[in-house]
């Protein structure tokens, strides 16, 4: 589910749900003159086509294959955004985050760049799987800001890694075993910036087994808290 929020005129977030491939992703674009939408759209379409092209012959990717495919797809998206910037001067500075999830047999393989996140609710506990590539998170890691200060910091929107900013991009990849009852969430910072981890956990505890409803409640809560940015969320529940 994706929502423009209550402050922005346009929605620069894009998302992908491909049930056949087991591929799910969110891209949060940045840049004026419609460039943000261009960047997030390029990243998502490149991801979709490159994984469709590589569809596994036996229908199942190994963890290593899936990680390699995601890395290559994000790399290609980065390259395509960089090339587009050269064609149109008003697109200069555009970029996008990405968080991408693919099913590889009994594992979730997740790749990310920027501050779009993946969370896992397991047995009542919520864990953030990804580590934001953002200025505030770097300060948290250095012990210079607390988690709570980072959440409200005026520079919380500054990402330190994005697709489209450099000719080469470093992609972080992780694999997580999938267990019955697990609820995975992908989101843009329009959700995680408006809701605390505690609130996200509480909504998933109540509604995680009905993903569409969980998405609706999360988006509504983000808007109730101000809806300062575009809000995009994907909820995946493993039947248990």
Give me the residues that bind Ca ion (CB under 5 A), please.
28, 188-189, 229
Question: Shortest distance, CB of residue 98 to Ca ion, whole angstroms?
Answer: 12
Q: What is the C-alpha separation between 3 and 25, in angstroms, rounded?
A: 15
Q: What is the C-alpha separation between 211 and 223, in angstroms, rounded?
A: 18
Q: What is the C-alpha separation between 151 and 148, in angstroms, rounded?
A: 5
Question: Shortest distance, CB of residue 191 to Ca ion, whole angstroms?
Answer: 9
C-alpha pair distances (Å), 112 with each of 67, 117, 182, 223: 11, 8, 20, 25
Closer of 109 and 195 to Ca ion (Cβ): 195
Closer of 11 and 63 to Ca ion (Cβ): 11
Closer of 35 and 178 to Ca ion (Cβ): 35
Question: Shortest distance, CB of residue 30 to Ca ion, whole angstroms?
Answer: 7
56, with CB counted inside 10 A (0-12, 13-18, 19+), is: middle
Question: Shortest distance, CB of residue 190 to Ca ion, whole angstroms?
Answer: 5
Give the bridge partners for 172, in sequence order: 112
């Amino acid at each position: 589910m994706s929502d423009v929020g209550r402050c922005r005129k346009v929605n620069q977030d894009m998302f992908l749900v491909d049930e056949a491939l087991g591929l799910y992703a969110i891209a949060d674009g940045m840049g004026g003159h419609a460039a943000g939408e261009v960047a997030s759209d390029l990243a998502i379409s490149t991801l979709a086509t490159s994984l469709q092209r590589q569809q596994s012959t036996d229908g199942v990717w190994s963890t290593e294959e899936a990680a390699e495919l995601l890395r290559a797809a994000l790399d290609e998206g980065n390259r395509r955004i960089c090339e587009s910037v050269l064609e149109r001067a008003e697109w200069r500075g555009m970029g996008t985050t990405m968080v991408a999830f693919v099913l590889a047999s009994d594992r979730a393989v997740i790749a990310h760049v920027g501050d779009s996140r993946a969370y896992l609710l397991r047995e009542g506990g919520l864990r953030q799987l990804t580590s934001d590539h953002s200025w505030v998170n770097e300060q948290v890691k250095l012990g210079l800001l607390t988690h709570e200060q980072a959440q409200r910091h005026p520079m919380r929107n500054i990402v330190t890694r994005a697709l489209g900013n450099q000719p080469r991009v470093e992609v972080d990849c992780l694999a997580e075993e999938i267990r019955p009852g697990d609820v995975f969430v992908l989101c843009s910072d329009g959700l995680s910036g408006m809701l605390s981890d505690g609130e996200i956990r509480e909504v998933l505890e109540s509604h995680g087994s009905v993903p569409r409803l969980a998405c609706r409640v999360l988006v509504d809560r983000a808007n109730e808290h101000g809806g300062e940015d575009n809000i995009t969320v994907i909820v995946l529940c493993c039947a248990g």
